[in-house]
Structure 1
Amino acid sequence: MYPIIMCEDNRIQLQQLDTLVENYILFHSDLFKVELQASQPQQVVNYLDDCEPQNGIYFLDIDLQADIDGIQLAEIIRQKDVQAEIIFVTTHDELAPLTLKRKVAALDFIAKDQPLDDYRQEIYDTLDYAKKIIDETRTVQKKGFSFEVGTQVYNLDKSEVIFVEASDIPHRLNLESTNGKFEFYGKLTELEDKYPFLFRISRSCLINPENIQHVDFSIREVGFADGSTRKFSIGKSKKLKNIIQAPL
């Protein structure tokens, strides 16, 4: 489900935008859902803090008649929902260069002051494109390895993952990667199901066989390219041997 969030201080224009988006959802995709219709930017900030959305689609006016304008709000959104798709619906398309300078990476600028049919079609076309981008991003992520640390989402290529193991802190996992060490909330069983390239060598450790450097079966120890080692359960010996002897 892709959450849609709108922020427009003019309530009539907000209602018009919502009607057009809801009609699109009705006839084009049930993967979208309007989660927030806000007339004040602080409502969006509160929503981000409370719900921590991912891959949201945000329709923002630029002049919001508030302490926070649409571009500043987009910066906040980008920090909290890193994969957000931001669409400015505004009469101030001359401010487009400013969004580039502020690095908010807007997907589109849609002018309010145009014929209704053209306005509707631009919204529909942009939603089509936003969905395409998000779908493609998620497909790529599934081929790699993604995890969250606080409000930050990290996406690693699977070749960068060395192993993941249970932390001494309940419900936390430690990730050893070629880019460094990370700690995040998660469950090994969920990662094992989500990422088939990981192999469980013990109750507390999943490894990426691609990064095995050597295996000592006499002491049941796996060594990795970064010099680290981990013990494996005796019941994993046969399968581990099959994995490392399999052709690339």
Structure 2
Amino acid sequence: MNVFILEDDHNQQRHLKTMVEKISREISVNELKINLFASTDQLKMGLPVASKENVFILDLEISGIKTAGLEISRVIRKHDELASIIFITVHDEFVYTTYKYRVSALDFIAKDRGNIQEELKQDLIHIQKEVQTAATEELFTYKSYYDEVQIPYKNICYFEANHNNTHSSIMYTTDNQGIQLNYNLRTLAKNEKRFFRSHRSYLINPQQVKHVDFLHHQAVFYNGLVCPVSRRHEKELFKLIKSRNMFFLGLFIFSYSLLNDMIITL
């Protein structure tokens, strides 16, 4: 686990470091690396390769700027789609602003009330479980500058052709991020068979499609995003969604019947 702490008060910084080390021993984190930062500029220079194991613990107010933590969280999320972000601050009036910034913060812990260590412990336990789950997840890998970045397939909604650059495309994720890739749709469609070519300019992940809107000729995703579907591909996409839903319905019925049999036996 790689922990990045942003706190401009050195006493608070050391306290958080000690707290994270203690929690890590309690929950048996195999490998822990803690990085300390006193300014947002330092943190920008020290951003790591994107990973599910990255945990950013941010104070909201840095150098007298009450929203500095929120601002740097946007930079972090743009750079690292997989990381967990935790805010620890006395300025809990900004809790709703984190959603405005769309950084998908894991938690918002107030310094002036509650048990910080216990709340942080629960967060790190959750992250540890996510990391363990991710180890068995199927991941989509792409190159970003000189680094290789991985993102779970289930976190991808669709790819859109970049009309300003025919050699690239834009990937839209479940948390509404738009990430430019150095691959065009033809290359993606050839190499990634699990995606569906719904339109000449769109390649979608059927697993994230909630339903097909035949009236407006578009796919509607679970997170509210929409993208066009050509008329000739609508029925095929609908069949994919229907078969997926029937599979999960069958799995639910089987599980329910099995549970019911167990209860009757008992």
Other-structure match for 2:120: 123
Equivalent residues of 1:54, 1:84 under 8 A apart = yes
Q: Map Cα deviations across residues 156-187 of structure 1 (whole Å, 9 max, x no partner).
A: 47xxxxxxxxxxxxxxxx989xx5425xxxxx
Instruction: Count how many residue pairs are aligned between Structure 1 and Structure 2.
Output: 162
Structure 1: runs of 5 or more not aligned: 158-173, 183-205, 209-248
Other-structure match for 1:146: 140
Q: Which moved more, 1:124-133 or 1:98-107?
A: 124-133
Other-structure match for 2:55: 57
Q: CA deviation at 1:146?
A: 2.1
Supply the distance in 2 between the matched residues of 1:72 and 1:175 (Cα, whole angstroms).
Answer: 30
Other-structure match for 2:247: none
Equivalent residues of 1:3, 1:53 under 8 A apart = no
Equivalent residues of 1:108, 1:126 under 8 A apart = yes
Read off the aligned partner of 2:131 and give its amino acid letter.
Answer: I
Is the aligned partner of 1:26 residue 2:25?
Answer: yes
TM alignment of 1:1-248, pairs within 5 A: 2-48=1-47, 51-55=48-52, 56-65=54-63, 69-114=68-113, 118-140=115-137, 142=138, 145-150=139-144, 153-156=150-153, 180-182=186-188
Q: In structure 2, the residue corresponding to 1:35 is in which secondary structure?
A: strand
Supply the distance in 1 between the matched residues of 2:68 and 2:79 (Cα, whole angstroms).
Answer: 17
Structure 2: runs of 5 or more not aligned: 155-181, 194-266
**Percent of aligned pairs with the same amino acid:** 25
RMSD (CA atoms) = 3.1
Q: Summarize the Cα distance change of 1:207–1:60 in structure 2 as closer, same or farther, 3 Å threshold.
A: closer
Other-structure match for 1:185: none
Q: TM-score, normalised to structure 2's length? A: 0.53
Supply the distance in 2 between the matched residues of 1:88 and 1:207 (Cα, whole angstroms).
Answer: 36
Equivalent residues of 1:40, 1:66 under 8 A apart = no
Other-structure match for 1:222: none
Equivalent residues of 1:4, 1:32 under 8 A apart = no
Q: TM-score, normalised to structure 1's length? A: 0.57
Q: In structure 2, the residue corresponding to 1:181 is in which secondary structure?
A: helix
Equivalent residues of 1:41, 1:66 under 8 A apart = no
